[in-house]
Amino acid sequence: MQQIVVIGNGMVGHKFCDLFARHPRRHAFQLTVFGEEQRPAYDRVHLSAYFTDRDADKLSLATREWYAENQIELRTGELVTELDTANRQLGTHLGYEMHYDYLVLATGSVPFVPPIPGKEKSGVFVYRTIEDLDAILDYAAKLRELPGARSVVMGGGLLGLEAAKATLDMGLPTDVVEFAPRLMPRQLDEGGAATLTSTLEGLGLGVHLSKSTSAVGGNGCITHLDFSDGSQLEADLLIISAGIRPRDELARKAGIEVGPRGGILADEYMRTSAPDVFVIGEAALYREMIYGLVAPGYDMARVSLSTIMADADGGCMPESIDLSTKLKLIGTDVASFGECFPEPGTARSIVYHDEAAGIYKRINVSPDGSRLLGGILVGDAADYNMLHQIYKNAMALPPQPEDLILGTRGSGGDAGAGIMDLPDAAVICSCENVTKGTLCGHLSAEQAHSVKDLVACTKAGTGCGGCKPILSDLVENYLKSQGRVVRNTLCEHFAYTRQELRDLIVLKQLRTYDEALDELGHGHGCETCKPALAGIFATVYAETANPQAAIQDTNDRFLANIQRNGTYSVVPRVPAGEITPDKLIAIGAVAKKYGLYTKITGGQRIDLFGARLDQLPPIWEELIAAGFESGHAYGKSLRTVKSCVGSTWCRYGMDESVTFAIEIEERYKGLRSPHKLKGGVSGCIRECAEARGKDFGLIAVEEGYNVYVCGNGGARPKHAELLAGPVDRQTAVRYLDRFLMFYLRTAGPLVRTAKWLEGLEGGIAYLRSVVVDDVLGINEELETEMQGLVNGYRCEWKEAVNDPALRARFRPFVNTDEAEELEFVALREQKMPKPW
């Protein structure tokens, strides 16, 4: 049996072990791994996730048990200090010695700390290991008691910006200092970096460019940085993220050839200058470069293992390594791929830049326009996966390459290639090196039917996870191409889509959940189909959440939003955010009387937190007496129509946006829908109401209103698209009636308008043809249905407090009048639930 030794138990070193464990000829070898850190390999790519919960287990790539089960000897906390390549011997700092037949150096890198005076002061950190993060967290916790404490990150690269996000999240105002004249100088051009800078500044991050730090100031602890231009910056915590240096000291000492600026020299099989000694990961210098990304490191692990195993189909490293990356930075996406900065004359660039929206896209195509060479995406990287595939597979471009980033304008249809046009050799998951052909093979052999199955069969998507959207596209398109209908049926109790169920309920005039289950379903229902059907009854019969309370989701059942400790929050409707002083006082009086925590919501209303279940009816009696109605903040329903103050007060206003927003909110209040619905009305193009971040938005222009639909904020922000305009108010309302009713009829459960539009074949152009041009001939019907729902509106809180039977559900215990015992703690003159 031959002995393989891996030095280093980082991500790449572990990948080698993982591949080894699965290799058919592994039993001819014994594998021993040395790790310098105490814990077994963990995920450094997602290191900053540690800041949210400090749970190291979540980052773990493998347990000690895994190593034991796979008969791999793992020795952590042990540093290899001696290496004799002539006799194939190594020794550790503990005095342990062993022989190897093959040696794999996966020693990784260390953060580079420039030789700045004062860098040893306390409060100065690097950002690489879990221990580094622990030290930062502990220090930041102490700083929180120091008023006005600030953090600074030195280095505006990928890792530096991650670190900056982390300290921002810790509640420390943060600055980023970069030596180069722009952020992410290796990935972004000037335009992209400028866009990123203004987005980050908008989020409260300070950005200082072209700054060379001359000293770390402070007496023992850091207090500020001095720059060579004479300026200073306050800093109570400094994270240095100024690049990496390969760990080559062991190899250097053993006489293995290293590069002039560090890094262990490797050939295309990852062999070093010493016989049967390999190098992989960030310690390797391959083609005069060090690769700090995980995908090339994994490739190196694969290549070195198959060289050792003498695999027939082993292969070697490609000549040029793909450095494409996509990452989610602080609230924005950034991606770059291929040739980002081509030499003048070798490419033509197409740039799309929307300053207001913080979007910058650049693609570089060959001078004849036939091939995609590379590109940069900032602010919106939704196209990244497709563009990256087109680039990697040298696929043919559409006649107007700009369609790739702008989408086709005018006639419908998608730009460029679809997933099914990719060649089988296209690598979909570059971390695990899984091709489209492999994935389709599993699908066609019926071994996989879903993304989950594919992940289980191939490990695709288990690395950085960036290919997951493409995997789900692949599954859906594959099934479609096989003539199989992809049916999003509701759950095990109803084999219909929401749209089909709605049609059947209308057709058969079914009025209750049990009737529908008897007629159309089987079994006894669940937490998925009950609220979905409740929503259908609401959109067909204008039914409130009261008659069938038992099938409502908890929030609808109790007409309030359940919060962390089982208390509820109460949001009265404040149409368009306009409220009289008397009503403000009334809300204040109720909050005071019941001891509620009050906060202004993002939808221009007031949220009252901490109400016990039994307090909800008396609270609402008082609110109703003061003229309030339910705000439906708890429902999949119309929430608010946000407004700016408009021409009644604003010197720029083109129309009375508040008046129009009130009219619209009053019209659609109580409307239940597949998901929550938000609207906005802005009085001019300055868009202070953020109407384009809503499901429907109206923006006043000289000649009337532009009508936008299908936007949202939240986790996947999307701007609403122009449906029609400019039109007069009456026409705008008619379009909204039709649009909303069409959405209510056809969307799946919990699908918001933006996602619904994505799934509509033909997109916004098709939606426009239905809503504006009436190609389906259903507009009269849609308007009548909507008018029926508008006429059927009742305040469900009024219903609930006035009917003793409905009110009984707010009693906390059936068998006693005792109140619930809940614990609160003080928070800035108000209260909050006692922490978990």
Partner 1 sequence: MTAYQTILPNQVTTWFRAGRTDQFPVGAGATIKYGQRQIAVFYFNRTQRWYACQNLCPHKLENVLGRGLIGEQDGVPKVACPLHKRTFSLETGENLNGDCPPVAVFPVRIEGGDVYVGFID
Site string (478-507) toward partner 1, x via CB under 8 A:
--------------xx--------------
User: For residues 190 and 197, what is the distance between their CA atoms, to the nearest angstrom?
Assistant: 10
Q: Select the residue interacting with partner 1 from 446, 773, 818, 829 (CB under 8 A).
A: 818
Q: Which of 219, 509, 791, 816 binds partner 1 (CB under 8 A)?
A: 816
Which one of 530, 639, 675, 734 is in contact with partner 1 (CB under 8 A)?
Answer: 530
Neighbouring CB atoms inside 10 A of 215's CB total 15
Instruction: Please tell me whether residue 514 binds partner 1 under the rule CB under 8 A.
Output: yes
CA 82, CA 97: separation in Å to the nearest integer?
9
Tell which one of 243, 717, 726, 812 touches partner 1 (CB under 8 A). Answer: 812
Q: Which is nearer to partner 1, 563 or 731 (CB)?
A: 563
Measured CA to CA in angstroms, residue 740 lies from 77, 274, 327, 418, 743 at distances of: 61, 70, 35, 30, 5
Q: Are 263 and 278 in contact (CB under 8 A)?
A: no
Q: How far apart, in whole angstroms, are the C-alpha atoms of residue 291 and residue 160?
A: 17
Q: Which stretch binds partner 1 (CB under 8 A): 277-285, 596-604, 795-803, 811-819?
A: 811-819
β-strand partners of 642: 680
Nearest approach in angstroms of CB 605 to partner 1 is 23
Residue 805 in contact with partner 1, rule: CB under 8 A: no
Measured from the CB atom, is 389 or 561 closer to partner 1?
Answer: 561
Stretch that binds partner 1, among 30-38, 330-338, 471-479, 552-560 (CB under 8 A): 552-560
* Rg for the chain, CA atoms, rounded: 31
Q: How far is CA 440 from the centre of its chain?
A: 27
Cβ proximity to partner 1: between 229 and 818 the closer is 818
58 binds partner 1 (CB under 8 A): no
Q: By C-beta, is 567 or 657 nearer to partner 1?
A: 567
Q: Which of 190, 201, 527, 781 binds partner 1 (CB under 8 A)?
A: 527
Choose between 566 and 627: whose C-beta lies nearer to partner 1.
566
Burial class, 697, CB count within 10 angstroms (exposed 0-12 / middle 13-18 / buried 19+): buried
Max Cα–Cα distance, the chain, nearest Å: 91
Is residue 401 near partner 1 by the rule CB under 8 A? Answer: no
* Count of residues that interact with partner 1, criterion CB under 8 A: 35
Report d(CA 690, CA 697) in Å as an integer.
8
- In three-state secondary structure terms, 372 is strand
User: Based on CB atoms, which residue is closest to partner 1, 298 or 810?
Assistant: 810
User: Whole-number minimum distance, CB 503 to partner 1, in Å?
Assistant: 24
Give min distance, CB of 637 to partner 1, in A. Answer: 18
Alpha-carbon distances of 128 from 42, 46, 50, 547, 822, rounded to whole Å: 11, 11, 12, 57, 42
610-649 residues in contact with partner 1 (CB under 8 A) are 613
Q: Compare residues 235 and 529 and give the one whose CB is closer to partner 1.
A: 529
Name the phi and psi angles at 586, rounded to 5: -60, -45
Dihedral of CA atoms 420, 421, 426, 430 in degrees, nearest 10, equals: -60
Nearer to partner 1, 566 or 713 (CB): 566
The smaller minimum CB distance to partner 1, of residues 562 and 624, is found at: 562
| Signed CA dihedral, 484, 490, 492, 493: sign only | negative
Place of tokens 């029926």: 788
Nearest C-alpha neighbor of 577 from the set 655, 634, 646, 487: 646
DSSP 3-state of 155: coil
Q: Determine the Cα–Cα distance for residues 324 and 326; give it in Å rounded to an integer.
A: 7
Is the Cβ of residue 194 or residue 613 nearer to partner 1 in the bound state? 613
Question: What one-character-per-residue DSSP string does 18-49 give?
Answer: HHHHT-TTGGGEEEEEEESSSS--B-STTGGG
Extract the tokens encoding 322. 């793909």
Interacting stretch for partner 1, rule CB under 8 A, among 4-12, 81-89, 528-536, 760-768? 528-536
CB 548, min distance to partner 1, A: 9
H helical segments located in 564-615: 581-594
Site residues for partner 1, 532-551, by CB under 8 A, read 549-551
Quick one: 55 or 134, whose CB is closer to partner 1? 55
Rounded Cα distance, 164 and 156, in Å: 9
Closer residue to partner 1, CB minimum distance, 89 or 554: 554
Looking at 453-461, 672-680, 682-690, 807-815, which segment touches partner 1 (CB under 8 A)?
807-815
Taking the complex as a whole, the smallest distance from the CB of residue 73 to partner 1 amounts, in Å, to 30
One of 212, 444, 481, 554 touching partner 1 (CB under 8 A): 554
Q: How far is the CB of 634 from partner 1 (least distance, A)?
A: 11
The only residue of 814, 825, 826, 828 in contact with partner 1, by rule CB under 8 A: 814
Q: Does 255 bind partner 1 (CB under 8 A)?
A: no
Task: Report if residue 525 touches partner 1, rule: CB under 8 A.
Answer: yes
Candidates 526, 650, 701, 832: give the one binding partner 1 (CB under 8 A): 526
Stretch of 124-132, 235-243, 289-297, 523-531 lying at the interface with partner 1 (CB under 8 A): 523-531
| Residue nearer to partner 1 on the CB measure, 773 or 823 | 823
Only segment of 46-54, 74-82, 347-355, 522-530 that touches partner 1 (CB under 8 A): 522-530
How many C-beta atoms lie closer than 10 Å to residue 638's C-beta?
25
Q: How many CB atoms lie within 10 A of CB 245?
A: 17
* Stretch 556-595 residues interacting with partner 1 (CB under 8 A): 557-558, 562, 564-566
- 836 touches partner 1 by CB under 8 A: yes
**Binding span for partner 1 by CB under 8 A among 263-271, 467-475, 478-486, 805-813:** 805-813
Based on the shown chain and the rule CB under 8 A, indicate whether residue 750 belongs to the binding site for partner 1. no
Among candidates 75, 18, 36, which has minimal Cα distance to 250? 36
| DSSP string for 493-561 | TB-S-HHHHHHHHHHHT--SHHHHHHHH--SS--TTHHHHHHHHHHHHH---SSTTGGGS-HHHHTTSE
Cβ-based nearer residue to partner 1, 261 or 564: 564
Q: Is 531 in the site for partner 1 (CB under 8 A)?
A: yes
Pairing assessment for the beta strands 224-227 and 213-217 based on DSSP bridges: antiparallel
Which range, of 150-158, 234-242, 517-525, 751-759, touches partner 1 by CB under 8 A? 517-525
Residues 6 or more apart whose CB falls under 8 angstroms from that of 699 comprise: 681, 682, 684, 685, 687, 691, 692, 705, 706, 708, 725
Closest CA to 31 of 105, 107, 100: 100
Catalog residues that contact partner 1 under the rule CB under 8 A.
492-493, 514, 517, 523-531, 549-551, 553-555, 557-558, 562, 564-566, 613, 809, 812-816, 818, 820, 836
